[in-house]
Amino acid sequence: MRQWADLRVQALPMGYARPTQDPDFWKMTDGKCAYALLSALNAGNVPYKLNPWAERYNEAWIKRWGKEPAGYASSAAYMSLYVLKDAIERANSA
């Protein structure tokens, strides 16, 4: 993003750029990341009130690490444990 800004590219950066999900990305780019279109493939994990599971994931992450997640790839592993727990309970087995 710094290089894009320094070169004054006349196009909006687009696509999946994992570093853009980092809460410190603004500092990492010296503020040169003001404009970009990110395709977060797992948008269902982004913490919005529409998705209480995503809110729980983010709250648990912040409680554990003291800051927002740097991307949401770990949310699939987090959620898989709850899916497994639910499946076991539904099957009445342990």
- Whether pTM exceeds 0.85: no
Distance of CA 26 to the CA centre of its chain: 15
Q: Assign 94 a pLDDT band (cuts: 50, 70, 90).
A: low
How many Å apart are CA 9 and CA 12, to the nearest integer?
8
Q: Hey, what amino acid is at 68?
A: E
Could you list the residue range(s) of the whole structural domain that residue 57 is in?
42-94
Evaluate whether 12 touches 35 at the Cβ level (below 8 Å).
yes
- The answer on 84 and 51 residing in a single domain is yes
CA angle 59, 50, 16 (to 5 degrees): 75
- The answer on 83 and 58 residing in a single domain is yes
- The answer on 88 and 50 residing in a single domain is yes
- The answer on 91 and 47 residing in a single domain is yes
Render pLDDT for 35-86 as a digit per residue (tens, 0 to 9).
Answer: 777 766 555 566 667 777 778 888 888 899 998 877 666 777 777 788 888 8
- Give the number of domains in the chain: 2
